[in-house]
Each structure stands twice: as structure tokens, then as C-alpha cells.
Structure 1
Amino acid sequence: MERLLNWVEYISDWLWGPPLIILLTGTGIYLTILLKFFQFRYPLYIFKQTIGSVGKKPKGEGTVTPLQALTSALSSTVGAANIVGVPAAIMFGGPGAVFWMWLVALFAMAIKFSESVLAVHYREKNEGEYVGGPMYYITKGLSMKWLGVFFSVALMIELVPSIMVQGNSVSASLAETFSFNRLYTGIGIAFLIGLVVIGGIKRIGKVTELAVPLMAGAYIGAGFLIVVMNLSSVPAFFSLIFSNAFTSSSAFGGFAGAAVAETVRWGFARGLYSNEAGMGTAPIAHAAAMTDHPVRQGFWAVIGIVVDTLLICTTTAFVVLASGVWTAENAASDPGALAAAAFRSYFGPVGGYFVSVSLVFFVLSTITVVIFYGVKQAEFLFGRLAGHMIKFVYLGAVIIGAAGGAKAIWGFLDLALVFILLPNILAVLLLSRKVRSLYDEFFTSEKYYLKDIGQQDDAYERDEKVNNL
């Protein structure tokens, strides 16, 4: 068994190295070109149509508000990758890895935008709830139901060990910080999550609409406070990142040094893993949103990457680099603890508790939403009853993981993700012309973009509207 696990780990490490980095980055660049660099051309417009529209009545039909769809999607991406993954990228790829994390996020916006546009366009109404995602746009858009079924089965199965790992990380953190019993912690967590997920996407949306902004805001706010306390370090922070992005990093302290290739690899890998662009999970949440056009909801998916990678990951990077904890002896042996150590260096023991509690809440929200994703797969495959039944399977997985069970299958997680990612990326590429068609429809129609900017006196020159398309 140990030999098998070693082989699985070797194959997973290789796949999540150059092969998938090249595939995902290439897809992001292709879609960015196909969609005319929209994320660089319309940042102000995108912001106004998303964050700037909060509080206004949503346009069109759907089950949850666009903000609730975004916060639900963010719940599955904002988590351990932001707090643990960023220090790992710095320790193994050097400070320059943060630059490549930023860069890949800009192109990943085109992937996540395309996924969400397709999810809304091909969604269905299932007993009063709007449902969609890769399994629907693969089946309806490509007429390849077998591939849609493959994706759905792969995701439904993959979520079991994934939830176990998440449950384990929560119970381990609470056991270490507050000496809680891990089994009882797992039961308590499963009960609280069950109260939310049994209520469906409407209840999940209401909970995440409050919890995610609060969690992310508190974490980013604490990081901003550290920035204010270290304003003189800000230029050095950016200088360190940019100077190491294109040159090998020297070894010192707990850092072993890194070649440029390793810097790029770790930055790209952590960036893609953090925002989950191409995984096909976030579109499941966005498909339920109230919207008058798929492209409008696609803008919310772009904001998701801004929050997840450009804000939260950057906060972690600044705190870790500015504090200097990454240069300590043996820092590379446990990079996951660096964020807590960094906050502790500024706020004392309270800082360490803050990071532990933040991680717990991030992971709890992740479990809540990924269970919803699994439920949607069961409904797609077997109907609504199966969707209700599998909730209890996933809640049981939380308890087993929290108690420390099933460690032998954890090594299969990254490999399982490949079987989800590949069919989704294939579908997005094959349907990319449909995305472009919807994009052109939105930006040239008097009902959408042209109407929007006609109501904004300070936004754009009207004669530029069609010429740029």
C-alpha cells in the first residue's frame, strides 16, 4: 500500500507541475485573447456591475442573488490555500513566486469567467431551483452526456476524501489551539454544517453572504493594519518580489534558495490551486444566480479571483515577508505555520489564535459549499432524493476525517482533481466560441452594456463602444 501511495504522490506531483501549469496557463491566455482582454479593458465597468451594484435589486431570474452566488463560490476557494499555500510557495519558490501568482490570476480570470458564463447559459430549473455547471454545459452544449456523467461521478467521489481532509484540518487546529476532543469536534462541526446544507442553496447563500465578507474582511483588515504598522516596508516588499521573479533566489536563513524555474512553477501552481480556475466547481454556485445575461454573472466570477488571490493571498504574502519569519532557521520544514508565526510576531499570542480561528472558519465554509457541489452531482445523476441522501454521507465524512480516519486515501486527492479538471477544461475550450458569442451579444446589445454605460455619465465615450469590439 505504501508503495502505491508513493507512486500516486509521484504522478500527482508531476501532473501538477509543468503539464497542468502549461494547460491551465495556455487556456487562460487563449481565452483572454479570444475575449479581447476584457479583464484589462473593463475593470471599472466590471467593478460597478458587481461590487458597485450591491444593494440594488438583481436583474433577471435565479435562485440566489449574484452576491450570494459569489460568496458561495468564494467559500470553496478561500481557505487553507490562502493561508498555508502562499508561505509554501515563498519557501520553495522564493518571494518572486508571488509575482507569478499575481500574473496567473489575471489570465485565470478568463477561465473562471468562461466557466460561469457557460454555467448560466446552459442551466436548468430543477423543482424551483436553478442548477448548472460543467455536467450541464458538457451534456447540453457538447451533446456528450457520457463526459458530463464522468465529470459528475468524479467530483461526487472526490469530495469524500476532500471533506475528510478538511474535517481533519479543522479538528487538528482546534485540538492544538483549544485542546478540544477531535471526535466530538467532528460531530459538532457536522451538526452545524448540516443545519446549513440541508436548507439548500438559498440557506447556504444567506449564510455565506454574511460569513465570507466577515471572514475575509477581518483577515484582510488585520493584514492592512500590519501594512500601516510597516509602511516603510511596502517598497521593500514589492522590490523583493519583482527582483526575485526573474532571477534565482539566494539561500539564507531557513530558505534554501530557488532557481527561476522553481519560482515560476510554485507561483503558478499555488495561484491556480488557490483560485480553482478550471476546476469546474465555482460555476455550480454561479449557475444559481439571479441575472439577466450570463456575461453579467461572469463578471462576479472575475471578482472572486480578485478577492481570493489578489487580496487575501497578497495579504498573507506581505505579512510573511515583512515579518521576516520566512528567513528563520527551519522555516522550510513547516511553511504552513508561517502565517500564524507572522501574525504572532506583530500581535503576540492573539495573532496566532486569530490565524487558527480564521483557518477554521475558512475551512468550515469550504466544507459547507463543497457538500452543496456534491449534492448537485447526485441530483444530476440520480435525482433529488439522491441529493438529499448524499448530504448525510458527506456529513459522515466530516466526522471520520475529524477523528483522523482514512489517512491512506488522502494521497489520492490531487490525482482525483485531475479527473475533474481535464473534462471541464476540454469543454470550456470546445465551447469557447459560444462564450465569445455571448460576450459579443452582451457588449453590442442596447439591452446590456450599451444601456449600462448610457446611464453612467462619467464612464466611457459612446463612439468607443462598438469600435473596440
Structure 2
Amino acid sequence: MELLEVINGFLWGPVMLIALLGTGVLFTLRLRFIQVTKLKAIFKQVFSKPTKETEDLGMSPFQSLSTAIAAQVGTGNLAGVATAIAAGGPGAIFWMWISGFFGMGTIFAEAVLGQLFNRSENGELVGGPAYYLRYGLKSKALAGFFAISIVLALGFMGNMVQSNSIALAVNNAFDIPKIIIGIVVAVLAGLILVGGVGRIGSFTEKVVPFMAALYILGGVIILAMNYENILPALKMIVYGAFNPRAATGGFIGATVKETLRYGIARGLFSNEAGMGSTPHAHAVAKVDHPVQQGLVSMLGVIVDTGIVCTITALVILTTGAFETGLTSSELTQQGFYLGFSNFGNFGLYFIAVALFFFAFSTIIGWYFFGELNIKYLFGKKGVKYYRPLVLIGIVVGTLLDVDLVWALADVFNALMVIPNLIALVGLSALVVKSVNGYSFEKGERLDNKKIS
């Protein structure tokens, strides 16, 4: 653990955060603030229908977005936001918003490249960073390195952590044995995963909107009951971004450096911009032009960071939970407990249910991302070994002390970021060329030539 902490301290230090945020700034500038100027086109594209030429493969734009959000909106939205506030003060949320804004530029580029270099193999669409590393950047070594890293980081270790989070929350709220919870989660996941990309897309497009709406509704109800504290909370966020000690009366002894670091880090980890995970979902979307899926992808950051993370932060601040000294998911749970204090332990049950949906949907999304890379490494035959191993890991994960698993997952998360950022910067001209070859007014390409 000590060795892994040293490695992670180096990998996730200032250099990595600057590289992630810098990539977002690069694409924001090169694409002329596309997340602002094309906001209307984003919402229009999400609910568009594919043409006959593309409807036989992959997912619809909405299904691919739901699968991406399933992976993005997870325990990080509950625990990550709380950790940022506990370590960096309320001002960390301001920097989380900033990282989300620039992250929209990064995730747009990832989706466009995913579309440009997707391929049809055995009647299925496949794609992701491994494909644009190999066929775009022409680096078979980096592609293989990325594929191995993401299978280990998300498919196995990450999903063990998610199942452990479900087991802890449900066990604390309803006193159900963890092993029983693990078996139930594995069985439910197996029923979905065995149906392949079609069933995964169908599941996420139904569950993710419900999941997000349920959590947002609970948060909005608490904010409505504490409406007089909303403006002071927003003031703490904005003022605390530049003067964290004064914003909370010195209760949280954070410096501006810590506030900025935790806000940017948790924001990027939550919306996964630049991580190389969400391009897998966007690569298999059925669209007529890569830019169309790039537009769709940016809505995921809006939902994740702009809405869900903001709801979590405001609940923690308006209820006064941030003054309890708690951190991680316990702090968020305390916020909802205090918010629903007139209803007994309802807040505890609410977070247990929300965490179940958040973590379970992340398991489905992360499994899917891992499966695409298993296919890249070993072909379709590798899936029959990968799927049962993931399901076994889900059960085992509920019984483990996950500190070691989390630390290992963090290492491989960092290792998959590095080649992905190299590809994004190296292929940035292709992203710009794609945008220049697309008519946002007509929703179609400006010429009939293949962009790549």
C-alpha cells in the first residue's frame, strides 16, 4: 500500500492534472468554445434518429449517451464531491465546474475520434482509444498498453470497488449480508451483460434517466426546504475558490492550492473527460457524422458535473453537513439524513438506493468498456472468459477491504490516461478538420469525402 501510494502520488500529481486540464483548454480554443456556441445543437442531436444506412449496427445516440453517463455518474458523484469539499473547502466546487467546462472540449474530441476510427467486426461496431491509437496514431504498442490498462482498471478492479460500495450501503441501511448482496448484483448484471450491446444499450437508456431523476428530485426537495441557505452556499463556493479560509470562517483550513487541486481532480475523475473510457460508448453510436456524436458526448458532462455533482454539493452545504468533519460518501449520506431529518432515517435509505443504482449502472458501463478492449486484444472469443471473471469479481469485491483494489485501480487509471492524451493531442488536427467539414445548421457533412 505504501508503494502504491507513492506511485499514485506521482501519477496523479500536478503534471497529470495540468495535462488533463490543458488538453481541455487546447480543444476549447481550437474548436472556438464549441461547448458554448453549439449548445442548442447538443440538445437537438441527442434525440435525433439514425438514417437507414446506420441503423443496423451499434446503439442510438441516446443509448450511447446513457451508457457513457452510466459510467460517469457513479459513486464519485456522491463520494468524490464530498471528498473535494472536505479536503479543499466549498471553493473546490467552483474549480470542479471549471474542469467540467473545459472537459467538454476533451470529451467532444474523444467521441469524434472514436467515431472516425470505429470498425465493423463480426457484424458489430467496435471502437475506442485502442482503435484510434492503432489506426490513427499508428501505434500498436500504445493501443495494446491502453487496452490492458482499462480492462484491469475498470473491468476488474473498478467493478469490484463498485460492488463493495453497493454492499456497504445496502448492508448499513437494511442489514442484508454482503455475500447475498454480491450474488444478487452479479446475477442481475449477468442477465444484462449476456444480451450483448443491444441489451446494455436498452438497459442504460431506461435506467440512467430514472436514476439521475430520482437523485436530482431528492436533492431538489432538500434544497427547497433549505432555500434560504442556497445563496449563502453559492457565495461560499465562489468566494471560497479564491479565499477558502474566510469562506467558512476558518472551519476548513484549506489553501487556494488545495482547493484548486481537489476541485479539478475530482471534477475530471467524475466526468472522466480525457480518461479514455467514454469514447467506447460514443464510438458505437449510429450517427451519420462524427461531430454529431461529439455533440452528444458533451451532454454527459453537463449531467454529471453541472447537475448531479452540483446537487450533491449544495445539499452538503445547505444542510450544514460539511461542518460535521465527515468525508467521502458518509458526508453525502449525512447531508441527505439532515435534509430529511423530519422523516427519520429516510435519508439513509434514500442514499442506499441511489448508491445502488449509481454503482450498478457504472458496473454495466465499465464492463462494456472492458469488453470492447477484450475484443481488441483477443477477438470475440475472449468475451466468454472475460464475462464470468467479471461476475466472480463482483461477488468477491463485496467481501474485500477495497483500499488495495482502489489503489491498484488508480494506478491503471493513470496508465490508461497517458496514451489517450497522447492520441488526443496528436490527432487534434483531425478533430478540427471534422468540425470544419460539418454544417451545424443543416446537420450534415459539407462534402461527401471520408474525413479520415
Q: Is the 8 A contact 1:250 1:256 kept in 2?
A: no
Between stretches 275-284 and 219-228, larger displacement belongs to: 219-228
Matched, 1:83 2:102: no
TM-score when scaled to structure 1? 0.90
Equivalent in the alignment of 1:342: 335
Matched, 1:212 2:208: yes
CA-to-aligned-CA distance 1:222-250 (integer Å, 9 cap, x gap) = 11222222332222121111111111324
- SS of the residue corresponding to residue 125 of structure 1 reads strand
- SS of the residue corresponding to residue 49 of structure 2 reads coil
| Counterparts of residues 174-185 of structure 1 (less than 5 Å) | 174-185=170-181
Equivalent in the alignment of 2:146: 151
In the TM superposition, what is the alpha-carbon distance from 1:410 to its structure 2 partner?
Answer: 3.5
Q: Is the 8 A contact 2:152 2:409 kept in 1?
A: no
TM-score when scaled to structure 2? 0.93
Instruction: Calculate percent identity across the aligned residue pairs.
Output: 38
Instruction: Work out the CA distance in 2 between the residues paired with 1:211 and 1:386.
Output: 28
Equivalent in the alignment of 1:271: 267
Instruction: Work out the CA distance in 1 between the residues paired with 2:77 and 2:212.
Output: 11
Between stretches 260-269 and 56-65, larger displacement belongs to: 56-65
Q: Is the 8 A contact 2:315 2:339 kept in 1?
A: no
**CA distance change for structure 1 residues 301 and 446 in 2, over 3 Å: closer, same or farther?**
closer
Q: Letter of the aligned partner of 2:280 in structure 1? A: I
Instruction: Work out the CA distance in 1 between the residues paired with 2:133 and 2:87.
Output: 37
Matched, 1:57 2:49: yes
Q: Letter of the aligned partner of 2:339 in structure 1? A: Y
Q: Letter of the aligned partner of 2:435 in structure 1? A: Y
Instruction: Work out the CA distance in 2 between the residues paired with 1:402 and 1:253.
Output: 40
Matched, 1:439 2:435: yes
Any unmatched runs of 5+ in structure 1?
A: 452-469
| Counterparts of residues 88-127 of structure 1 (less than 5 Å) | 88-127=83-122
In the TM superposition, what is the alpha-carbon distance from 1:203 to its structure 2 partner?
Answer: 0.2
Q: Is the 8 A contact 2:59 2:198 kept in 1?
A: yes
Q: Is the 8 A contact 2:161 2:405 kept in 1?
A: no
In the TM superposition, what is the alpha-carbon distance from 1:11 to its structure 2 partner?
Answer: 2.5
In the TM superposition, what is the alpha-carbon distance from 1:184 to its structure 2 partner?
Answer: 2.0
Q: Letter of the aligned partner of 2:95 in structure 1? A: W
Equivalent in the alignment of 1:38: 34
Instruction: Work out the CA distance in 1 between the residues paired with 2:106 and 2:428.
Output: 10
Equivalent in the alignment of 1:463: none
Matched, 1:131 2:102: no
- SS of the residue corresponding to residue 244 of structure 2 reads coil
In the TM superposition, what is the alpha-carbon distance from 1:173 to its structure 2 partner?
Answer: 1.5
Give the count of matched residue pairs: 440
Between stretches 188-197 and 6-15, larger displacement belongs to: 6-15
Instruction: Work out the CA distance in 2 between the residues paired with 1:396 and 1:407.
Output: 19
CA-to-aligned-CA distance 1:131-178 (integer Å, 9 cap, x gap) = 100011111111111211111111112232222111111112221111
Instruction: Work out the CA distance in 2 between the residues paired with 1:429 and 1:49.
Output: 26
After the TM superposition, which parts of structure 1 deviate over 6 Å for at least 4 consecutive aligned residues? Answer: 251-254
Instruction: Work out the CA distance in 2 between the residues paired with 1:407 and 1:14.
Output: 18
Please, which of 349, 357, 370 is the counterpart of residue 353 of structure 2?
357
Q: Letter of the aligned partner of 2:80 in structure 1? A: G
Please, which of 27, 31, 43 is the counterpart of residue 23 of structure 2?
27
Any unmatched runs of 5+ in structure 2?
A: 448-452
Q: Is the 8 A contact 2:59 2:286 kept in 1?
A: yes
Q: Letter of the aligned partner of 2:106 in structure 1? A: I
| Counterparts of residues 165-180 of structure 1 (less than 5 Å) | 165-180=161-176
